[in-house]
Structure 1
Amino acid sequence: MALSIFELIAILFGLVALFGYINHKLLGLPHSIGLMVIALGAALALVAFELAFPATDVDGPVTAALRQVDFDDTLLKGMLSFLLFAGALHVDLTALRSRLAAISAMATLGVLISTFVVGTLSWLVFGLLGLDIPFIWALAFGALISPTDPVAVLGVLKTIKVPASVEAKIAGESLFNDGVGVVVFLIVVAIAAGGAHAEVGPLEVARLFAQEAGGGALLGAIAGYIAYRALASLDEHNLEIMITLALVTVTYALAQVIHVSGPIAVVVAGIFIGNHGVAYAMSEKTREHLLNFWELLDEILNSMLFLLIGLEVLVVRVDLISAEAALLAIPIVLLARFFGVSIPLSLLSLRQTFTKGAIPVLVWGGLRGGISVALALSLPEGPEKAPILAITYAVVIFSIIVQGLTFKAVVKRSLRGQEES
């Protein structure tokens, strides 16, 4: 029997509260990671019980309920806009400007380098394992797995102390490169699927890229300025919070209508409001209420997202070949991340200096998360989708749990003795 939307939300909130309580009392992990670990453990326990006692069909109702949640639509067209805006509110524009060259290079050139490195090496590995995935679809996998997830990255950054120069690069890149990654992914999938852009050349791809990324930034700046003017003319915190909610939803929806990048648009709008709006358009009372509201909303949506990532193992079915490919994909993605970070920074280091030890921190701190899973789920139906989804899920799980829980140690080891700059 299909559950109503209210019943689904009630179940998710109940699980978030229960698993959050268990994590707080027993595990003591960072909240989001703890939720995902417990959800993943519960899902695997259901799978194991089902294998041991197939007649019980214990995981059937849970799987059916999860299939009602359209993960890619829920994240890409629902949660993501709010999560990106909430994260962008806390980005220091001055720090961002001073590292703009590095952030831009990693979010554009770095994503493209990583896409082609992952795509090429994965295609070779898939072939050796007997996994028949054409090169263009391996490239699509490279595009969806290359952008770091701002939700996961910002969540981890809240729990550790990182030099300001490195933190600005990690946070800034994660907020922008997912928008760039989504654009690259859509172009590659359009070519792979033989759609309208199947025969386009490099100039047309560049035009589409500029339209999506540049148009998104322009839309975000215009929408942010309009909201800023409205906020500056008021001193009513409830109404001002409503204005920011309208800013996020209307901007993201309009971006989809005019075919520009919604993620980039809401990030630019969020940075604008988080700096100029908070400083010059709000009273102290409004500032406190608004930031507290967005912090709470960010925490709620983060919890929901990581819970869903953990439970998605019930939907993702993995065969032996896909499992082998997934294990090999993890070092491939890390290697591609190394190239995507080190090449742009090495080029920029010819005219500016960077914090010593920043590259390993940026590589290990490049967490993958829900965006990659959502993009994999959005792939058109075909023989390539199931293995790519399984491999993507494995990389994301490794990234959040292993990289997320060891990131603090990597920071201490790589930046030992570094001053904040």
Structure 2
Amino acid sequence: MHETSSLSAFDAAAIVVVIAAVLSYCNHRFIRLPHVIGLTVMGAGTSVILILIDEFVPGTAISDMVEAFLTRIDFSQTLMQGMLSFLLFAGALHVDLAELRKGWFAVLLLSTLGVLISTIIVGGAFFLLTGAMGIAIPFIWCLVFGALISPTDPVSVLGILKRFAVPPALQATVAGESLFNDGVGVVVFTILLSAAVTGADFSLSEGLRLFALEAGGGILVGLASGYVAFRAMRSVDEYALEVLISLAVVMGGYAFCSNFHLAGPVAMAVAGLLIGNQGVTYAMSDVTRDYVLKFWELIDELLNSVLFLLIGLEIIVIAISPELAILGLAAIPLVLAGRAIAVGGPMILLRPLGLVGEGGYRILVWGGLRGGISIALALALPAGDIRNTLLAATFFVVLFSVLIQGATVGRMVKKIGRGGSDGSAEAAQ
């Protein structure tokens, strides 16, 4: 325990990267699961093995050491203040802005109205579920759970879309919604958590004002930083410098947003779209384009590996009782139903415009995977029984999402691409 607590930040990072590399190699050579799913499974399996060793070999205290190690990493801070900015920027670089413009209204509705609808429906249903189970959780905290579980994870979604022949228009819609609903979800979560912690009455008008301020400010920061980077890249032809400029946009832009309470995730998605389209097309030579895109693909792959390994290892930190396990399992259909309604509501408005067909609807619902962002938000909750309850429910939903939805959404995409009325023409909408 003492040795664990004395680890430096570099030591902690080194341990995680080494474990991620070893498990990734084993998965690639022997298990051959999709990368995200394989690392989550192997991380969770490692956690279970360590727990069993502690249970049957007294005195080892391995789980305690791993728990202390994971606590030192501070999952929430690591993801929300570090990894998330890189992941969203890297994901946005590969979204086709021309296709995204065609479905901009769908992305706007799904990433704003959809998140709000999901927050309310999941929060209300979770309040009824916990009440029926005799678990006393105030309604505002149930809404906090609805907010943290509503954003879909762009890492999971984009990774799956890359492997299958998803039509460009639908891919841009799914990717765009996933990128922007993170920013919206974080803002809604922050507003609701503040009301829950302070005990102040939640004001819808004040919440909307804060939402508009943070999200709008994030968009402006993303446009400004992306444009400055675009002009700088256009004036030089030196791949190392242009990679450094893109890195400065991510780190500087996100730090600026954090200090001024603006939506950093939204800013990074906007900046990534701008540089990934205008910058790649008009400001980079072929050599620079190759270096910049490969650099960010490597960053994405590295952080992706670390992120889902940590999700699997979090089993050790979460003390899950039988009652919380039942609650977590029951929360899975609640979240799926909330997603179906949250996507279906905006689709009533989108259907006459022909923006999303039935095949697209099914991909949006089942492909709306939850991942590290939801886990990080749950870990950011203040310590106590409510945190433990919400964290356990979140973990079950995320584990189901990654292992079951992530493993089957590819087959759904293939089926929609082949099937008659759900054929590729409709899916492309």
TM-score range (shorter-chain normalised) is over 0.9
In structure 1, C-alpha distance between the alignment counterparts of 2:355 and 2:77, rounded to whole Å: 41
Contact in 1 for aligned 2:100/2:169 (Cα 8 Å): no
Give the one of 209, 212, 215 matched to 2:214.
212
| Residue identity in the other structure for 1:323 | A
Using the TM superposition, give the Cα deviation of residue 179 of structure 1 relative to its aligned residue in structure 2, in angstroms: 0.3
Structure 2 equivalent of residue 23 of structure 1: 27
Deviation per residue, 1:70-123 (Å, 9 max, x gap): 100000000110110000001111111100111110100100110011001111
**Identity across the alignment (%):** 51
Deviation per residue, 1:383-413 (Å, 9 max, x gap): 2101101110111011011100011112223
Using the TM superposition, give the Cα deviation of residue 200 of structure 1 relative to its aligned residue in structure 2, in angstroms: 5.4
The alpha-carbon distance between structure 1 residues 51 and 185, as it changes in their structure 2 partners (threshold 3 A), is: same
Structure 1 equivalent of residue 424 of structure 2: 418
Give the one of 124, 135, 151 matched to 1:131.
135
In structure 2, C-alpha distance between the alignment counterparts of 1:19 and 1:55, rounded to whole Å: 27
Structure 2 equivalent of residue 172 of structure 1: 176
Structure 1 equivalent of residue 387 of structure 2: 385
In structure 2, C-alpha distance between the alignment counterparts of 1:41 and 1:131, rounded to whole Å: 29
Structure 2 equivalent of residue 91 of structure 1: 95
In structure 2, C-alpha distance between the alignment counterparts of 1:155 and 1:105, rounded to whole Å: 23
SS in 2 for 1:193: helix
Give the one of 151, 159, 167 matched to 1:147.
151
In structure 2, C-alpha distance between the alignment counterparts of 1:347 and 1:51, rounded to whole Å: 55
The alpha-carbon distance between structure 1 residues 138 and 200, as it changes in their structure 2 partners (threshold 3 A), is: closer
Deviation per residue, 1:366-395 (Å, 9 max, x gap): 000000000001112232101101110111
SS in 1 for 2:397: helix
Segment drifting more, 55-64 vs 116-125: 55-64
1:34 aligns with 2:19: no
| Residue identity in the other structure for 1:192 | A
What pairs with 1:9-408 in structure 2 (closer than 5 Å)? 9-194=13-198, 198-199=200-201, 201-408=203-410
Q: Which runs of 5+ in 2 are unaligned?
A: none
SS in 1 for 2:190: helix
Using the TM superposition, give the Cα deviation of residue 11 of structure 1 relative to its aligned residue in structure 2, in angstroms: 1.2
Contact in 1 for aligned 2:103/2:355 (Cα 8 Å): no
Using the TM superposition, give the Cα deviation of residue 321 of structure 1 relative to its aligned residue in structure 2, in angstroms: 1.2
Contact in 2 for aligned 1:108/1:180 (Cα 8 Å): yes
Contact in 2 for aligned 1:109/1:344 (Cα 8 Å): yes
| Residue identity in the other structure for 2:424 | Q
In structure 2, C-alpha distance between the alignment counterparts of 1:388 and 1:14, rounded to whole Å: 31
Using the TM superposition, give the Cα deviation of residue 174 of structure 1 relative to its aligned residue in structure 2, in angstroms: 0.4
Segment drifting more, 266-275 vs 377-386: 377-386
Deviation per residue, 1:229-248 (Å, 9 max, x gap): 10001001001100110011
In structure 1, C-alpha distance between the alignment counterparts of 2:204 and 2:356, rounded to whole Å: 33
Segment drifting more, 74-83 vs 125-134: 125-134
Deviation per residue, 1:15-66 (Å, 9 max, x gap): 1111011101111111122111111101111112222233332322222211
Segment drifting more, 305-314 vs 49-58: 49-58
Deviation per residue, 1:192-247 (Å, 9 max, x gap): 1126xx24532221111100111101110011101111000100100110011001
| Residue identity in the other structure for 1:418 | S
SS in 1 for 2:33: coil
Q: Which runs of 5+ in 1 are unaligned?
A: none
- How many aligned positions are there? 419
Using the TM superposition, give the Cα deviation of residue 180 of structure 1 relative to its aligned residue in structure 2, in angstroms: 0.1
The alpha-carbon distance between structure 1 residues 181 and 227, as it changes in their structure 2 partners (threshold 3 A), is: same
Deviation per residue, 1:308-334 (Å, 9 max, x gap): 111111111101111111010000000
Using the TM superposition, give the Cα deviation of residue 353 of structure 1 relative to its aligned residue in structure 2, in angstroms: 4.6
Q: TM-score, normalised by structure 1?
A: 0.97
In structure 2, C-alpha distance between the alignment counterparts of 1:319 and 1:102, rounded to whole Å: 41
Contact in 2 for aligned 1:88/1:267 (Cα 8 Å): yes
In structure 1, C-alpha distance between the alignment counterparts of 2:178 and 2:326, rounded to whole Å: 29
Using the TM superposition, give the Cα deviation of residue 354 of structure 1 relative to its aligned residue in structure 2, in angstroms: 2.6
| Residue identity in the other structure for 1:373 | I
| Residue identity in the other structure for 1:340 | A
Contact in 2 for aligned 1:148/1:174 (Cα 8 Å): yes
* TM-align CA RMSD: 1.3
SS in 2 for 1:158: helix
Using the TM superposition, give the Cα deviation of residue 163 of structure 1 relative to its aligned residue in structure 2, in angstroms: 2.0
